[in-house]
Every structure is written in structure tokens, then in C-alpha cells.
Amino acid sequence: MSITKRGLILAGVDGSESGDAVIDYAIWLAKKGRAPLKLLHTIEHSHYSEQVHHEGNLTPNSKEHLLDELSDEERVESKQLIAKGKQILNQAKQKAQDAGVIDLIAKQRHGSLPEALIDLQAELAMVVIGATGQDHHGEQAGLGTQLEDAIRVVSKPIFIVKSDFTTPKKLMFAYNGSPTSHKALNLLRSEALLHEDIEIHVVSVSKDLREAMNLVEDARAVLQEANIDVVTEALAGDPLSLLTQYQQYHDIDITMMGAFSHGKLHGFIFGSFTTQMLLESQTQFLLVR
């Protein structure tokens, strides 16, 4: 069964520079997959007082006054964040309605995006988020601080937006034979919205060219069973440099791959290949956990 028949497309909107593109890609996915679209804005409270206080000099009365002051500041901040979030959601909702999306939900909730994804996971088919969030305004080379956590906490496919919307024509599937890569392969085979009207490139990179050739042939056989025609490429060398070169040379729009095959500690010590690909590539990404 298609993933979009089992859930909805969720778009995380935060008013960042990539916000419009996130909405555009979510609209494209929802319409192509005939799935409901949910627009979600999360409110995180990172309150700090604008007043300078010297804690060591506080009397009991002044401590009580400070707590009241902080509480008042927090209430003001909360109201401002809620009002700003509603404005962001209303603009996103109008954009989706103008694009012809009928089955549409717009929600605001408190907490972080990863927390929201954990709670909402059962109703989701796919998550669409920007590579850079509000905390990286103007830093195109950076990644949002919550991005890795968001990818790790949800078992549903995550579509990561890195640039302005253009209708995708080519998808590169980076296949390495890992368990998450197998899961991505099965998703690509079963999900029509990923292969209909899109040219599929299956690319495998290994130190041993023969191993890479075996991998692409295995993937081709699986996809051909579903009558999906593919372009295949087997390469020997460094996966990061060869995959990014392939993306550029073939004008790839979406890169699909399994994500974070190793644990978080391994990624912290050795660096994550998923993170490196996200940083080095200019395509949109569809990551499968």
C-alpha cells in the first residue's frame, strides 16, 4: 500500500528563509500523492530576562519581585510567539489553498519539532522540513540545529528542502546495500509519487567496482519487478565526492538514501556520512530511516 494512503504529509513551517520552499515541496508531494497536508508550527520557549540582576545581592523581597518579573516577561514572550506563529501558519495555509490543496490542516503547538514528530508519528506518511531553520538565518551552508534530531526520532521518510522549488525531474537513489538502503529501495518500488514522471538514477559507490556493479544490478532487478525503468551507475572511490559529482553532472533534483545507519555516538566521533552529504550537496533529499 502507498505510504500516502496510510497517512498525511506534514510540513514544518517556521518562517525561515527556506519556509516558502518547504511549503511548495509539501504541496507538490501532497497533490502528487493525493494525501492530506498538515502544516505545523512549533513554539519553543528560550526565555531570558532583558534585565541584569546580581543574584548574590538579592533580598527575599527582591527575589520574589524577580520571579514575578520573569513570569511577566515569559507571558509577554509567549503571546508574541503565538501571534507570530499564527501569522506564519495563515500565510502557509493561504499558499496551499491557492495551489488547490483541499485536504488541509494547520496546527500550532508548544515544544520542539522532534518532540512533535514523536507524538504525531503514527498519523504521518512523510515529513517535509528545511535544511536550515530560523536559527541559521542567512547561513546557507549550515544545517538547522534540530535537523539531525528530527531525522533520528521519526521512522517515516523525511524530505529535506535545500533550495527554492522547481518541479523535480530526476531522482538519484544512492544504494549501498545497508538495511536502511534496502528499506529505501522498497519504498521507491512501492511509492508511485517517487517514480511516476521522474527519471530514476540508481548509483552505487564502493572501493571495489565489482561490488558496486552487483549492488546496482540488485537494485535494478527489484525496481524492474515493478516496471520501473532506471539509469544505473557503478563507481569505485570516495562515496561523498563521487555522489556529489554525479548529482551536479546529471542535474539531479532529489537525492534518496538511507540515513544514519550508525548510532549517534559513532556519528559524533567519526562524522556522519548523512550529514556530510547534506552539507556538500545542493539537491533536495529524501532520507529513509
Q: What is the pLDDT of residues 42-97, one digit of tens each?
A: 987 654 444 444 444 445 555 555 555 557 667 677 777 788 889 999 999 999 99
Most confident stretch, 14-18, 189-193, 250-254: 250-254
Distance between CA 212 and CA 4 in Å, rounded? Answer: 32
- Structural domain boundaries in the chain: 3-46+81-160, 166-288
Distance between CA 18 and CA 5 in Å, rounded? Answer: 27
pLDDT computed for residue 60 by the predictor: 54
The amino acid occupying position 245 is Q
Which residue do the cell numbers 533550495 mark?
Answer: 163
Distance between CA 269 and CA 231 in Å, rounded? Answer: 35
Please state which of the ranges 70-84, 137-151, 152-166, 180-194 shows the lowest mean pLDDT: 137-151
Residue 133: pLDDT above 70? no
pLDDT computed for residue 98 by the predictor: 96
At how many degrees (to 10) do helices 179-190 and 209-224 cross?
Answer: 30
Please state which of the ranges 180-184, 236-240, 257-261 shows the lowest mean pLDDT: 257-261
pLDDT computed for residue 151 by the predictor: 85
Residue 5: pLDDT above 80? no
> What's the CATH number of domain 166-288, 3.60.20.30, 3.30.470.20, 3.40.50.620, 3.40.640.10?
3.40.50.620
Residue 124: pLDDT above 90? yes
**Residue 210 pLDDT level (bands cut at 50, 70, 90):** very high
CA 248, distance to chain mean position in Å, is 21
pLDDT in tens, 26-42: 999 999 999 999 999 99
Q: What is the mean pLDDT of residues 253-268?
A: 67
Distance between CA 21 and CA 108 in Å, rounded? Answer: 19
pLDDT computed for residue 61 by the predictor: 56
pLDDT computed for residue 269 by the predictor: 31
CB 47 within 8 A of CB 70: yes
CB atoms within 10 A of CB 143: 18
Distance between CA 260 and CA 35 in Å, rounded? Answer: 27
**Residue 153 pLDDT level (bands cut at 50, 70, 90):** confident
Q: What is the mean pLDDT of residues 190-213?
A: 95
Residue 1: pLDDT above 70? no
Please indicate whether residue 236 or residue 289 has the higher confidence score (pLDDT).
236
Mean residue pLDDT of the chain comes to 84
- Provide the percentage of residues in the chain whose pLDDT is more than 70: 79
| Same fold across 3-46+81-160 and 166-288 | yes
CB atoms within 10 A of CB 119: 11
CB 258 within 8 A of CB 285: no
**Cα Rg of the chain, angstroms:** 22
CB 284 within 8 A of CB 161: yes
At 54, phi and psi to the nearest 5? -105, 95
Please state which architecture CATH assigns to domain 3-46+81-160.
3-Layer(aba) Sandwich (3.40)
pTM: 0.85
